[in-house]
Structure 1
Amino acid sequence: MNNLKKSWQEEVKDPETLIYLNNALLDHYNLDYYTLAVTIPMNKDHKNTKLAQTILRGVAQAQTEVNLGLFNEDYPRLKDFLGHNFIKGKAINNTMGLKIIIANEGNEETQAQKVAQSLIKQPILGVIGSWTSEMTVATVDIYKENKLVSISPGATTEYLSNNPSPFFFRTVTNSSESFQHITKELIKRNKTKAVFFYSPSSDFSSSAWELFKEEFEAQGGKIIHQNAHRVPEYNLSTPDFNLQKSLEQIRKEPEYDPEKTVIFLVPDAEITKATQNSIKLIEALPSNNQISVAGLWSSYKDELLNLNNKTVLSNIILSSFIYPFDPDYNNINFKNNAQHLWQEDNHPITTIITPRTASAYDATRAFIEAIEQQSQPRRFLFFDIPQRVTRKGIQKTFANPNFQAQGSTATIQFNTDENSDRKNGDRRNPPISLIHIVPCGDYHEFIPIEFDDPKDVGLQCP
């Protein structure tokens, strides 16, 4: 346990370490707990370590908030828990802690299926995952067949809405809802012409192309190129992606107008080099560029804030499923606890506590609430009878249309009403924000487009 504490200090607030420290403390003090699993998309070359960390921050924070509630404030053991001096903990029904198993899917479908086959055999109540749409689609039937609930904090593909599973839920919006918001804003800004860069081999990215085309044209916009899959210059995942040829292709389009054109980027979820190529494309745009750049949450990357092309940064707009610092929502505990746990000096806070962090936190909090509801003692005659928590019971709790839990920025509810046309486990009334990039002292931050000053959303600039 001391080694884990030392590791926490040396590894600059690593969330994986905090999860293992929580687990070790539960075992060391022989405390009772429930167990969940979280899957992460760490690929072989570890290039998406930051992505995995942003997910684990949300899970680790929710776990810590539970386990700190196992001790009274004056209890000597409390000091062993990180966060004890600023987090007001609440154990599950005041008696049970939370252990987390971390499983790496490798961001590869075969590996994700192997992980799912392993997790269904573990003594867990549910899975926080998968992260990407591709991995979720590859594993959703495995969890369904074995009656284990999974809540995805990142899969937005419309396929999961149209092919529902009673054991699948998600804390993010689906892609169509994101496109409705961002296309309306683009048309409002007179960006009526668009070119679309994506990853044709990705289910998420390719379906996004179809959804964007449909929604953008319905709003009065026009795609100024032929079908994207026929234009190799617009394929972000091609191994020989050529920046200059792609930029030249945009200018060659017959209806190209720099003042009215938007480049819409939807790379896959770091399965190929599409994300890196999209960032390079933005960096390569000329400084006097009038073209706007737009994208979904997959383009919400801290690498964007490090680009030298500051003029282009001011023309970027992204659709985000959850913005953790949205002032319209008032879960101050989440914001304060997150900043105390994860803030690093001289580093943009919105790249540490991200929409991914918030959605993973929400998935964990949903499980915690479901476990708490199911484990409530039932009154029988004059006795309170403890209730056993089961996987089937967790699913029934989520399937109740009256279920709700407090999330990072808003109440968590799912589309499960029998009378609804959308009984599919999607999040009901999901929070969606449109984000732009603004200067913040020595660096830049992501904030909602309704604001120009980071201070207006509670951010401190150096």
Structure 2
Amino acid sequence: EALIYSNNARALAQEGSPLTLAVVVPGDDELLARAILQGVAQAQNEFNDEGKGGLNGQLLQIAIADDGNAPERAKKVAGKLVEKHKSVLGVIGHSSNIASQATLSEYSKANSELAIISPTSSSIWLSDQNFFRTVPSDTEFGKQLAELVNNKLTQKKLDKNVVVVYSADTFDSIYLKEAFEKQFKNERIGGTVVKTISFSDPDLNSEVFSEEAEAAILLPNQASIDQAIEIAKINAGLSNEEKLLLFGGDTLLNNKVLNQGKEAVEGLVLAVPWFPDESDQSNNFITTANDYWGEEKVSWRTATSYDATQAFINVLSSNTSREEVLEKLREIQLKSDETSGGTLEFNADGERQCVPKSESEPGKLYEPTIIKVVKDKSEPAEANDAKFKFDLEEAESEPAEANDTKFEFDLEEKGGC
């Protein structure tokens, strides 16, 4: 927030009116809000500073709003942005699916023309002429996860039987579960979901391993990560014949999984919205982000929020209107060096897709990236002092000293563009 406020002060000190965007975050979720604001702040600062100096002397101002990830509160915030803050040319947000869903009717009011780009909402139910997003939809997540599970089971000559464990009290988890099941059970893959279990089930651990499943799909909310780790630990103690292959979604892209799960989560495979690859563009973004924030790893939310802000910045012009911004977003094409690493354009439904390499090629939807937990051998560790980190380098499995094994998330299959 501090960098945004500093840039806002500079923007207001300039002659004339600043260009204004808004970002909506859940103020009571510090980690989530910070990740989003970092991406927005980085893009704002690059636009206002670093040799660019804004647009014809106009700097960018970012208004920060708090919706608490609560539908009714989010709707009120959207209403105010539409009706009372006419200088706002676009909105980055909202962060949750339920908050975004609640606000669409406000942003699409007659003559509103206020565009919204969500960097984190993936629900398939989010669709409106004003709505765009910089993450894949749950349909794409379900498709990638189903293909991944199918391929792994086929390679190992195992039956396509899985158990799905999800958070029944969280819409994000429910949506992803439904998207996966639809794709996995379709005629082409022909998989079977032998059981769906809620993380709130009192007999969770025994239920997961009671069926003739070959894999477990773990889709927890933040509150259920510990239970997902416990499932992995139980699984690690089974014989090779009894062990399940473990898969999951982006919630498990969390240092807690590495630090607490350790050997038990080795081989865990995840479908995530974004993960840095080895391209120059991705490395440049990571290097710059680390310089800004000094954090060990860059959150995928920071990357997708940066991309959302960059999309808006690239369609701004002096004396522009909400209507012009909305129209230009439908035609935007960003190169990979203008984003966190991949090209960006939006299709007619507001879904992010990759810019075609030629006019004769159709646009390809932006896909989730597949990563896995592998041993981290980048540096030695003292006994009983194992360290864990995320890394792109693909590591071959090899024996490690007792109590001296480290793990990292490794790129399994590049998504994005």
Q: TM-score normalised by the shorter chain: which range applies?
A: 0.7 to 0.9
Residue 435 of structure 1 contacts residue 447 of structure 1 at CA under 8 Å; is this kept in 2?
no
Give secondary structure in 1 for the equivalent of 2:277: coil
CA distance in 2, matches of 1:336, 1:193: 42
1:342 aligns with 2:285: no
1:140 aligns with 2:104: yes
Distance 1:141 1:456, change over 3 A: closer
Unaligned runs of 5+ in 2: 354-364, 380-385, 397-407, 412-417
Structure 1 residues 392-417: Cα deviation after superposition (integer angstroms, max 9, x where no partner): 110111123x544631111110002x
Residue 11 of structure 2 contacts residue 18 of structure 2 at CA under 8 Å; is this kept in 1?
yes
1:209 aligns with 2:177: yes
What residue number does 2:271 align with?
Answer: 319
CA distance in 2, matches of 1:135, 1:167: 15
CA distance in 2, matches of 1:284, 1:40: 37
Distance 1:31 1:63, change over 3 A: farther
Residue 372 of structure 2 contacts residue 410 of structure 2 at CA under 8 Å; is this kept in 1?
no
What residue number does 2:142 align with?
Answer: 179
What residue number does 1:103 align with?
Answer: 65
CA distance in 2, matches of 1:141, 1:265: 33
Residue 141 of structure 2 contacts residue 180 of structure 2 at CA under 8 Å; is this kept in 1?
no
1:427 is aligned, of 333, 352, 367, to 352
> CA offset at residue 368 of structure 1?
0.2
* Residues 17-26 or 170-179, more deviating: 17-26
Distance 1:215 1:186, change over 3 A: same
> CA offset at residue 310 of structure 1?
1.3
How is 1:29-428 mapped onto 2 (pairs within 5 angstroms)?
A: 33-43=18-28, 48-68=29-49, 88-120=50-82, 121-122=84-85, 123-145=87-109, 146-160=112-126, 164-190=127-153, 192-218=160-186, 219-225=189-195, 228=196, 234-236=197-199, 238=200, 242=202, 245-253=203-211, 255-256=212-213, 261-268=214-221, 270=222, 273-275=223-225, 277-279=227-229, 281-282=231-232, 285-288=235-238, 290-307=243-260, 309-323=261-275, 325-328=276-279, 330-344=281-295, 349-350=296-297, 353-371=298-316, 375=317, 387-400=318-331, 403-404=333-334, 406-416=338-348, 424-428=349-353
Residue 157 of structure 1 contacts residue 174 of structure 1 at CA under 8 Å; is this kept in 2?
yes
> CA offset at residue 207 of structure 1?
2.6
Give secondary structure in 2 for the equivalent of 1:224: strand
> CA offset at residue 332 of structure 1?
4.3
Give secondary structure in 1 for the equivalent of 2:395: coil
> Taking structure 1 as the reference length, what is the TM-score of the superposition?
0.72
CA distance in 2, matches of 1:95, 1:302: 42
Please identify runs of 4+ aligned residues in structure 1 that moved more than 6 A: 453-457
Residue 172 of structure 1 contacts residue 359 of structure 1 at CA under 8 Å; is this kept in 2?
yes
Distance 1:274 1:147, change over 3 A: farther
RMSD: 2.6
> CA offset at residue 66 of structure 1?
1.0
What residue number does 2:389 align with?
Answer: 445
What residue number does 1:22 align with?
Answer: 7
Residue 397 of structure 1 contacts residue 403 of structure 1 at CA under 8 Å; is this kept in 2?
no
CA distance in 2, matches of 1:39, 1:114: 12
How many percent of aligned residue pairs carry the same amino acid?
Answer: 29
Structure 1 residues 425-462: Cα deviation after superposition (integer angstroms, max 9, x where no partner): 011131531012232545223346x82287998xxxxx
CA distance in 2, matches of 1:399, 1:389: 16
Give secondary structure in 2 for the equivalent of 1:252: coil
Residue 288 of structure 1 contacts residue 311 of structure 1 at CA under 8 Å; is this kept in 2?
no
> CA offset at residue 201 of structure 1?
4.1
Give secondary structure in 2 for the equivalent of 1:389: coil
Unaligned runs of 5+ in 1: 1-15, 69-87, 229-233, 376-386, 417-423, 458-462
> Taking structure 2 as the reference length, what is the TM-score of the superposition?
0.80
CA distance in 1, matches of 2:233, 2:69: 26
Give secondary structure in 2 for the equivalent of 1:100: strand
Distance 1:397 1:53, change over 3 A: same
